[in-house]
Structure 1
Amino acid sequence: MSASETTSPATIPRWHVEGDWFDTCRCDVPCPCTFAQPPTYGACDGVLAWHIDRGSYGDVPLDGLNVLMVASFTGNVWGEHSDAYAGVFLDERADEAQREALLMIFGGQAGSWPAELNSMFGAEMRGMDTAAIEMSVDEDLGSWRVSVPGRVDAAGEALTGPTTPEGRRVQSTNMPGSETGPGQVVTWGRATRNRVDAFGFEWSRDGQSSKHIPFDWTGPDGA
């Protein structure tokens, strides 16, 4: 993911975004990638979705916008890996200034955690498009879902079991491979839908790993 022009750090405005992220992937529950281990089957593909609850890039408001990625790789995404590919959907509700801001932030040019993640992942882009991204996350983290009509349909529900207290979530802290950066709480789930036909990716599977992690990113000091 990249912005249309190279931007120097001196021209990057102050920015901040926070909200919800979740994925649905091929791995067994719980996804080893979040533990900084190789995926269950050696390679992984999945859907990654971000919803910005509150955010701005300089004077450009970003509240309520969504970004969705479909991606695949082989090996440990936090270490030695190969065959990393991705395709990205940007929220069609974003105007030109908002789209440019999303590209700068999520493409890593604006610094902070996305810059680190993009540097480590190093995916080859298969495509980028604007789309009607419908995304929701239950306030109690009971379930989460995202869709791009005809192209992506992904959803997960919070993991439960015989000894899980009613209304409580299965969560982890201090994860060595948190996809949204250090210090966030992971809520574990299971994918109820994971279907993709976009950017050359095609799969349909249910019942594998899904997880929710909040994100809270701020541009580097001086941005």
Structure 2
Amino acid sequence: MTHVENWWMKGDWFDSCSCDVGCPCEFAERPTDNRCEGFVIYHIKEGAYGDTRIDDLSVMIPGVFYGALWAGECKMTVTMLVDERATPEQRKALGVIFSKDAGGFMAHIFSTIAEITAVDYVPINFEMAEDMSYWKAEAPGYAGAHIEALTGPTTWPGQLVQTTNPTGSEVGAGALATWGKAVMSFVNHAGFIWNNKGQSSKHMPFDLKGPEPVKLNFPEV
């Protein structure tokens, strides 16, 4: 059993996947066409693992699953792209936080993963507009997306399309999701090759910690 130091992290999360806009996965339903493929990114604005700070680092997780993940019907197969700027101590810290050993909500997330097929340390760039009109991230040559905030004919000007307290949140309970649409989205890593231009995205801030257990209505998978 891995010894886990106390950890915490705050920042921005978003996904870019193959689901139609309004990704059913966020509502704990089956994904579009019963498959979801794309990537998620956790950009850590500030955080620490024990005495090791992990500020301004990012982890991208390309992955795929088939079926109702939140109902415990399936598990994900993923790869991981970790910010190459991380020092050896920071890489060790991120390796524990992004695992089933982490405790807290991250342990629940990683319990839904069947296999991590590759881990690579690469440059990762993250950017988000102050007014959240767009968000984007890229590990050049491996994965990336440029997302524009969702709008439409009946949307109030300057107002974001948001939902609260989603039933299938990757950042914990009570999240605020801001919806968007990919103007560019790709994955090309370790056998995963996808182009999800025009498909769904959502942004959520996160504030997570461990290794304290988290009591949630989370299915066994």
TM-score, normalised via structure 2 length? 0.92
Whole-angstrom distance in 1 between the partners of 2:76 and 2:41:
17
Partner residue in 2 for 1:75: 67
Aligned length: 213
Q: Within 1, Cα distance between the matches of 2:7 and 2:178? A: 27
- Residue 49 in structure 1 maps to residue 44 in structure 2: no
The alpha carbon displacement at 1:83 in A equals 6.1
Using the TM superposition, give the Cα deviation of residue 221 of structure 1 relative to its aligned residue in structure 2, in angstroms.
Answer: 4.3
1:168 Cα deviation (Å)? 1.1
Question: What is the deviation of 1:123?
Answer: 2.7
Residue by residue over 1:8-64, the C-alpha shift from the partner in whole angstroms, topping out at 9 and shown as x without a partner, is 3xxx22211010000110111100000000001111101111100110111101110
Q: What is aligned with 2:201?
A: 210
Q: For residue 3 of structure 1, what is the aligned residue in structure 2? A: none
Structure 1 residue 194 corresponds to structure 2 residue 189: no
What secondary structure is seen at the aligned counterpart in 1 of 2:8? strand
Determine whether 1:157 maps to 2:152: no
**Which residue is equivalent to 2:53?**
61
Runs of 4+ in 1 over 6 A off after TM superposition: none
Specify the alignment match of 1:125 in structure 2: 116
Match of 1:179 in 2: 170
Query: What are the superposed Cα offsets for residues 128-181 of structure 1, whole Å, 9 maximum, x if unpaired?
Result: 000001111222211111111112121211100122122211000111111111
Give the distance between the partners of 2:114 and 2:183, measured in 1 at CA. 27
The one-letter amino acid of 1:86's match is V
Q: Secondary structure at the match of 2:119?
A: strand
- Are 1:87 and 2:79 counterparts? yes
AA paired with 1:124? E
Identity of aligned residues (%): 44
The gaps in structure 2 that reach 5 residues or longer are: 214-221
SS at match of 1:71: strand
Task: Note if contact 2:78-2:113 (Cα within 8 Å) is conserved in structure 1.
Answer: no
**Structure 1, residues 74-109: CA drift from partner, whole Å, max 9, x if none?**
001102433621000111000011011111111131
Q: For residue 35 of structure 1, what is the aligned residue in structure 2?
A: 27
Q: Gaps spanning 5+ residues in structure 1: where?
A: 1-5
**What's the secondary structure of 1:86's corresponding residue?**
strand
Structure 1 counterpart of 2:193, one-letter code:
E
Q: 1:192 to 1:123 in 2, by over 3 A?
A: farther
> Is contact 1:87-1:125 (8 Å) kept?
yes
Q: Tell me by how many angstroms 1:110 deviates.
A: 2.1
Q: TM-score, normalised by structure 1?
A: 0.91
Structure 1 vs Structure 2 CA RMSD = 1.4
